[in-house]
Amino acid sequence: MKNTTIRLALLFALILGFTVAGCKKDSTTTGPSTQKPTAPVITVTGPKTQSSDTHALQAQSYAGMVNGFAGFAQPYAQMPGTQNGNVWTYTYTVGTFTVTMTATVATNGDAAWKLVYNGTEPGDTTVFHNWVAMEGTTTADGKSGNWKIYYLNSTVLEALFTFSTNAAGAVTSELAVYDEHSVLQAKYKFINNKDGSGELDLYTGTTLIQKITWTSTGSGSWWTYDNNGNQTGHDVWT
């Protein structure tokens, strides 16, 4: 996921800095009054521990990686948006390079998001012709949704991030990673409970190879499995 995800991460940081530096009020051009879509606020976390256990550290590291996908829409929702009917548009331009995020709001409040690159990226020679880098949907309350990330300048799916929130407030987040031939390579599934406890399931393709769980105080357990589902290891940390 190197090319696309690094570009997205740098771009999000740049846009977030821009929005913090100075935001203007949203403007409405034409069309009926439609509520601005809710950008999801999802935080993926690992165990809250200072343990040097390899698996505890692994869960924290993967949480940071997955968390990078969780809030990609937030910087755009903080930008000055232009409303035209049920479509909100957020645009950021540097030189001849333009990034456009659109959010199309359904009558029930759900939103369909699309991130488009156009022009030559600053500091690079890559040229984009209205390339869709990311797209996805979120529910009206911002508690469930999905993001699709595509390989650079292509329509081939590189990663799929999904999230949902249950009635108890537990958030399940899953990042699925694909190769250039659309074959699933790995999955990282997190469950974050409101009390700080959680779980991480790691998959190679569709095969579960590792499970890590932790309590609200940061202690935890882990299990490893072979390709046939047989347990190959287990231990705990405190």
CA angle 160, 38, 148 (to 5 degrees): 15
Q: What is the rounded CA–CA span in Å between residue 228 and residue 12?
A: 40
Calculate the alpha carbon distances from 221 to 7, 50, 196, 214 in Å.
35, 15, 15, 6
pLDDT of residue 30: 46
Q: State phi, psi for 17 to the nearest 5 degrees.
A: -65, -40
Q: Residue 7: which pLDDT band, with cuts at 50, 70 and 90?
A: low
At residue 4 the predicted structure's pLDDT band, cuts being 50, 70 and 90, is low
With a pLDDT cut of 90, the percent of the chain lying above it is 68
Tell me what percent of the residues of the chain surpass a pLDDT of 70.
84
CA distance 67 to 200: 13
Q: Among 222, 216, 223, which residue's Cα sits nearest to residue 45? A: 216
What DSSP state is assigned to residue 182? Answer: S
* pTM for this entry: 0.85
pLDDT in tens, 30-72: 444 567 887 777 889 999 999 999 999 999 999 998 887 777 6
Dist. CA 173–CA 189, nearest whole Å: 6
Tell me, what's the pLDDT at 22? 39
Residue 174 scores a pLDDT above 70: yes
The rounded distance, in Å, linking the Cα atoms of 23 and 100 is 17
Q: Is pLDDT larger for residue 71 or for residue 201?
A: 201
Distance CA 162, CA 77 (A): 19
pLDDT of residue 149: 92
Q: How confident is the model at residue 76 (pLDDT cuts 50, 70, 90)?
A: low
For residue 54 the two structure tokens come to 């390899």
- pLDDT bucket at 123, cuts 50 / 70 / 90: confident
Rounded distance, CA 232 to CA 36, Å?
A: 50
pLDDT for residue 138: 92
pLDDT at 79 over 80: no
Confidence of residue 200 (pLDDT cuts 50, 70, 90): very high
User: What does the block give as tokens for 228?
Assistant: 């046939």
What sign for the dihedral angle of Cα 56, 57, 58, 62?
Answer: positive
Q: Are 222 and 231 in contact (CB under 8 A)?
A: no
- Give per-residue pLDDT as tens, 128-171: 999 999 999 999 998 999 999 999 999 999 999 999 999 999 99
Q: What mean pLDDT, rounded, does the chain reach?
A: 86
Positive or negative, the Cα torsion across 51, 206, 142, 152?
positive
186 confidence band (pLDDT: 50, 70, 90)? very high
For the cut 80, the answer to whether the pLDDT of residue 20 exceeds it is: no
